[in-house]
Amino acid sequence: MRGMPSDPATPAAHPATQTGTPPRHVAILGAGIEGLCSALELLRAGHRVTLLDPGIPGGEQAASYGNAGWFSSMSVLPPSAPGLWRKVPGFLADPLGPLAISWSHLPRALPWLLRYLAAGSTEAKLLSIAQSLRPLLQDSPVLHAALAREAGVPELVEQRGLMHAYASRAAFEAEAMAWRIRRQVGVEWREVEEAELRASEPHLTPDYRFAVLVEEAGRCLDPGAYVGALFALAQRNGAAFRQVAARGLRIESGRLRGVALADGSALECDAAVIAAGLRSAPLAAQAGDRVPLQGERGYHVMLLGTQLGPQRSMQLSGAKMVVNAMREGLRAAGQVEIAGPDAPPNWKRAEILRDHLLRAFPDLPNPFPAERVKFWMGQRPSTPDGMPCLGPSRATPDVIHAFGHGHVGMVGGPRTGRIVAQLLSGQAPEIPIAPFAAARFR
């Protein structure tokens, strides 16, 4: 890939020092995985950083906390696919399906949904998206491992591969187009036949008879603790933190002068990174870019205090969910729910994940003790084409977009941070970022 670093585990160089660009005071609007990776790389480059977020980084309110814990460098395809439009009536009719659309939210979400369906309407479009995402996600497990070591939590990141389990080889072959595209952009995998699957995953139900193992991929054993450790590292390295949301940008004559805060105060700075999840769209609009951003509500269930799950993290194709054995227990994550940002959680969707999990691993107690079951719901900040907004804003190069990663937020964090630091230090980004420009939505 053009511009890919020769050693992805090596921290980004100090571009501000190398190019002579004066150090800047950068406000990072949002302290999730994208914001924290950006903060660490900007600090490494010699800039001054202030993190702004209304919540505590790594806390349960954050999307980074609740994700499946996959560093899935093979996740190069958007959720949409050719022919998906035919299933929309079913999505509306079944509020508990793996993808559900709220009737009450449909009028507001319809423009986004039409773009979403169009983005994956042909194989050629999917290949184009995959070619764009692959450099952003490639080597993510190695980059995360380097960050975890630096943060003092190397045990939270593993690179033992991720498995996709299927009921049969025929079920795998039904997804041939997706895997063909992955191979075209450089993703490799190993087939796992039934005998090997039984031996390597003794707790998995025999209903799954075939799998593929992507050995380059990795996982996180506690996403909340990992994000919290990156936050602590950023503070040790000199980042300031204010627990308040950014409300607006003060741009004068094409230059950023400061950020207005929700508490009525202001922060003077000469650069900003928009990485505020769902709150990013109105901030981006102030910087000249209208980005269609929709919350894809996702759920997880934690079965606390048990390790009777997979030896490797896996996606169960029949259940459309990811299963990951973590430090605190077994997590199953998945579901896509298109609903209003203030709509109450539908915990039946989390109960479905729990029930799938108990069926997939019959050695688990069933029913599982209710006091050891924990449900969670959060919002994936998603663009219609499944790609982030990453690059300078229309109004000023002082404001960098780094949001809208959707399903690839955790895996895309490290290289996003490197690119942000390069842009604000006057360096060319290490991978092509033109496909991620907000201008694609004009």
Query: What structural domains does the chain harbor?
Result: 22-75+138-155+216-292+384-441 (3.50.50.60)
State the Cα torsion 353-196-364-73 to the nearest 10°. Answer: -40
Which is nearest to 219 in space by CA: 298, 305, 323, 122? 323
Residue 14: per-residue pLDDT: 45
Tell me if the pTM is above 0.75: yes
Compute CA distances 56 → 151, 193, 220, whole Å: 17, 44, 19
Cβ proximity of 221 and 158 under 8 Å:
yes
* pLDDT the model gives residue 363: 96
Q: What pLDDT does 2 receive?
A: 39
State pLDDT tens for residues 5-14. Answer: 444 554 444 4
Asked if residues 135 and 287 have their Cβ atoms less than 8 Å apart, the reply is no
d(CA 68, CA 299): 9
Distance of CA 407 to the CA centre of its chain: 5
pLDDT for the residue 292: 97
Report which residue type is found at 274. I
Q: Which residue has the tokens 């690839």?
A: 408
- Helix or strand holding residue 375 (H, E): strand 373-382
Low-confidence spans in the chain with pLDDT less than 50: 1-7, 10-19
Tens digit of each residue's pLDDT (9 = 90 or more) over 386-398: 999 999 999 999 9
